[in-house]
């Protein structure tokens, strides 16, 4: 992931930004990165890099390091591009929220999906009343297992926050954004049935179902399976149901399906959206747009779509869902 950020900032944003420093430990990955930006200074300690002579920092290290490094970057007066999730505990998330509110630095969370014209168009349709009042939102993701990570940190819920925190904070964030409300209570079920990678009780789930409600009365559901398809196949379906219709994603064809009550005799209106696939890791929609947006936010003060305040609810919902699975209780999100 860090390499993808390096390519986007140093190559794709050429003339606007350049990579001047790197902190990493894997010799092979360092060599690969140096081929992209040979002039980079190599650091072996994150704190030394953060306090060096640079303008902004990208943190794409394991999830449990996000908040400590982010707080250090803000303390050093650096602008920050922080990979999702916001944190792995509610206390971490709220600590970062307070710190970002007090800082005049840009702190952008790497929820790139918000920056894609595709998901942005979906948001505009909901806001324009395409489904009337939203009452339900859903996500179904059936795919293959996690890609291998350094020392398998992603497979350990103590380091990643859990499967739903690492992966589905993206989708929770989008659904919260579309519905325009804060999640209130969540109930979830999940376990590890197939993709066991590490021993012991801290192996992350490989399938789960999550249900929650919002402060405005709307409801949400998520269905996740990480052993449904062989990589790189992935099926992601998302949508919103209102009292006047339905919007549903068709990501394979970059189009949105719109059913509206009383029109087209049950056939959806097909809305095609021009959107770029991301360069690098995952090819996610919005990945090509979020990097120049970060630069514009620093240079011009352009409003961020993914500030901590905007995105904290998606992470808190994911954390609460993981807690619900562990405790077998309905969790109220404070």
Domain ranges in the chain? 2-110, 113-281+308-332
Give the pLDDT mean for 305-315.
Answer: 98
Say if strands 255-260 and 207-214 run parallel, antiparallel, or are unpaired. Answer: unpaired
What's residue 263's pLDDT? 83
Give the pLDDT mean for 97-108.
Answer: 98
Q: Rounded to whole angstroms, how far apart are CA atoms 70 and 244?
A: 43
Give the pLDDT mean for 150-170.
Answer: 97
Q: Rounded to whole angstroms, how far apart are CA atoms 233 and 157?
A: 25
Q: Rounded to whole angstroms, how far apart are CA atoms 312 and 126?
A: 21
Residues 6+ apart with CB under 8 A from 7: 36, 279, 280
Please provide residue 323's backbone torsions phi and psi, each rounded to the nearest 5 degrees: -65, -40
Q: Is 94 exposed, middle or buried (0-12, 13-18, 19+ CB in 10 A)?
A: middle
Please provide residue 279's backbone torsions phi and psi, each rounded to the nearest 5 degrees: -85, 135
Give the pLDDT mean for 55-80.
Answer: 98
Residue 278 has pLDDT above 80, yes or no: no
Predicted confidence band of residue 280 (pLDDT cuts 50, 70, 90):
low
Fold of 113-281+308-332: Dihydrodipicolinate Reductase; domain 2 (3.30.360)
Residue 282 has pLDDT above 80, yes or no: no
Does 2-110 carry CATH code 2.60.40.420?
Answer: no
What's residue 31's pLDDT? 97
What's residue 266's pLDDT? 80
What's residue 230's pLDDT? 87
What is the number of alpha carbons within 13 Å of residue 182 lying toward its C-beta?
10
Which of 60-69, 125-134, 167-176, 281-290 is the least confident region?
A: 281-290
Q: pTM for the whole thing?
A: 0.96
Quick one: how far is CA 36 from the chain centroid?
Answer: 25
- With contact defined as beta carbons under 8 Å apart, do 86 and 311 qualify? yes
């Amino acid at each position: 992931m860090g390499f993808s950020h390096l390519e986007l900032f140093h190559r794709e944003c050429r003339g606007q930004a350049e990579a001047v420093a790197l902190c990493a430990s894997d010799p092979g990955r360092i060599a690969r990165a140096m081929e992209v930006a040979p002039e980079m200074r190599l650091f072996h300690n994150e704190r030394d890099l953060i306090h060096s002579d640079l303008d902004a920092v990208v943190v794409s290290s394991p999830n449990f390091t996000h908040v400590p490094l982010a707080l250090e970057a803000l303390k050093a007066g650096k602008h920050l591009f922080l990979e999702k999730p916001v944190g792995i505990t509610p206390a971490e998330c709220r600590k970062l929220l307070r710190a970002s509110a007090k800082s005049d630095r840009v702190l952008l969370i790497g929820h790139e999906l918000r920056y894609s014209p595709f998901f942005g168009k979906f948001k505009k349709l909901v806001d324009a009343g395409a489904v009337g009042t939203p009452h339900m939102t859903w996500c179904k993701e059936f795919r293959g297992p996690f890609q291998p990570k350094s020392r398998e940190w992603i497979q350990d819920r103590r380091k990643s926050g859990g499967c739903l925190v690492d992966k589905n904070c993206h989708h929770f964030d989008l659904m919260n954004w579309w519905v325009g409300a804060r999640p209130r209570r969540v109930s979830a079920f999940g376990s590890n049935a197939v993709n066991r990678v590490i021993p012991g009780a801290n192996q992350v789930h490989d399938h789960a179902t999550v249900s929650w409600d919002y402060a405005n009365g709307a409801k949400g559901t998520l269905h996740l399976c990480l052993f449904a398809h062989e990589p790189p196949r992935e099926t992601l379906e998302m949508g919103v149901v209102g009292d006047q219709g339905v919007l549903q994603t068709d990501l394979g064809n970059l189009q949105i399906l719109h059913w509206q009550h009383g029109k087209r005799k049950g056939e959806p209106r097909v809305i095609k959206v021009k959107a770029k696939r991301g360069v690098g890791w995952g090819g996610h929609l919005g990945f090509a747009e979020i990097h120049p947006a970060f630069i514009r936010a620093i240079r011009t003060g352009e409003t961020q779509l993914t500030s901590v305040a905007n995105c904290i609810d998606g992470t808190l919902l994911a954390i609460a869902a993981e807690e619900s699975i562990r405790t077998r209780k309905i969790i109220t999100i404070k």
